[in-house]
Amino acid sequence: MKRFPLAAAMAAFFVFLLWSVAVRQAALFLVGIGLGAALAGARFGFTTGWRRLVEERDPRGVVGQLLLLGLAATLAMPLLGAFPELQAALGPPSISLLVGAFVFGLTMQIADGCGSGTLYKAGLGVPLNMGILPLFALGSFLGSVHLDGWLALGQTAPVGLVSLWGVGGALAATWLVLLAVGLGVRRWAGWQQAWWDRRWIVGAVALALLATLNLVIAGQPWGVVYGFGLWAAKAATALGAFDPAGNAFWSQAGNAQRLTQTVLMDVTSITNIGILAGALWVAARDGGATAVRRLTATQWAVGLIAGFVMGYSSRLAFGCNVGAMLSGISTGSLHGWIWVPMAFGGTLIGLRVRRRFGF
């Protein structure tokens, strides 16, 4: 697609949101476009960064991610302290989180993309990720349907470091742990390896700024997974296949209300649409030159199944690399810090599965 008609279509959708939905939603659509352009333009893949660290001892992607976490926390935590109406991404430490994060880390390597990665690669036109997206949504929906049962296995109340230690304490603790992880990464990679890369640094700075803008406008941190679960829940309800009144998650007041509204009123949905559009714009700029590998039928089947399980586990883990890791850690949620080692453990298994199927 040419860039001009695409830009015109995006502008028309922006005006439609402005006129018929809400000014806030129009603004969040622009934020989403920026996120998609930053993710796709810098090829800022959380999954790829972890894979390169493990397989090639290349620390540049993970260093970019650590910088993103540090910058986002530096911007978000003072805002949370100053504006009580802003919410942190507080998920409950639980069995659900442990299992979900591990399985998510495993499957994201097979599916070659986390929540945001699947979105921007689908926007770029990568066939497997386009196929995964609806299955990710279905998995996310089913995860939300079963979430109550998973939480019954054991949970504690969410822990917010900003309310626990104040802005200064939470920020200092966050930076200290990030620096410790950075040193560990450096040691693993070896001191002779390149430390950073312009692409990852630019992506980290852009994403940190846009994630902060999302927090300021929406009042809550950037997320991906909830929107997809909502889309599948709406479709299932409309088809008569699901009764939200009989489900613990979807009968809760906020979720039940969002089921009755258009998804264009949902903040996560609108940034997801923006990310797809932003990535599509980057694909148009690059002339559709994104490299695509041929896949065997087995690889397609394994990739699609992994995408479905990834959606399911993202709901159990209270977010993906964006909702749990980036938003959780940058807003001082303990669950973000639990999510990372569990997902990384899953990634170590996922890389072996990935190699087994020749991805």
- Interface positions, 12-41, toward another protein (CB under 8 A): 20-24, 27
Whether residue 22 contacts residue 265, with contact meaning beta carbons closer than 8 Å, is answered with yes
Residue count (the chain): 359
In the range 72-131, which residues lie near another protein by CB under 8 A?
79, 82-83, 85-87, 89-92, 122, 125, 127, 130-131
- Give the nearest distance from C-beta 71 to another protein in angstroms: 18
What are the structure tokens assigned to 131, written together?
């196929």
Q: Which of 59, 203, 328, 332 binds another protein (CB under 8 A)?
A: 328
Whether residue 37 contacts residue 282, with contact meaning beta carbons closer than 8 Å, is answered with yes
Residue 156 binds another protein, judged by CB under 8 A: no
In the range 40-79, which residues lie near another protein by CB under 8 A?
79
DSSP assignments along 241-294, one per residue:
S--GGGSTTTTSHHHHHHHHS-GGG-HHHHHHHHHHHHHHHHHHHTTS------
Stretch that binds another protein, among 64-72, 170-178, 196-204, 219-227 (CB under 8 A): 219-227
CB-wise, 223 or 346, nearer to another protein?
A: 223
CB-wise, 234 or 354, nearer to another protein?
A: 234
C-alpha distances (whole Å) from 274 to each of 14, 25, 28, 203 are 10, 10, 8, 17
Residue 147 binds another protein, judged by CB under 8 A: yes
x-marked contacts with another protein along 162-201 as a string, rule CB under 8 A: ----------------------------------------
Q: State whether residue 114 is helix, strand or coil.
A: coil
What are the structure tokens assigned to 37, written together?
């352009």
Where b means 16+ CB within 10 Å and e means fewer, 22-32 reads eebbbbbbbbb
Whether residue 95 contacts residue 338, with contact meaning beta carbons closer than 8 Å, is answered with no
CA–CA distance, 145 with 139 (Å, rounded to integer):
10
In the range 223-252, which residues lie near another protein by CB under 8 A?
223-227, 229-231, 234-235, 238, 248-249, 252
Residue 216 binds another protein, judged by CB under 8 A: yes
Whether residue 223 contacts residue 319, with contact meaning beta carbons closer than 8 Å, is answered with yes
Stretch that binds another protein, among 66-74, 166-174, 202-210, 296-304 (CB under 8 A): 296-304
- Give the nearest distance from C-beta 62 to another protein in angstroms: 22
- Give the nearest distance from C-beta 189 to another protein in angstroms: 30
CB-wise, 171 or 189, nearer to another protein?
A: 171
DSSP assignments along 150-163, one per residue:
HHTT-B----BHHH
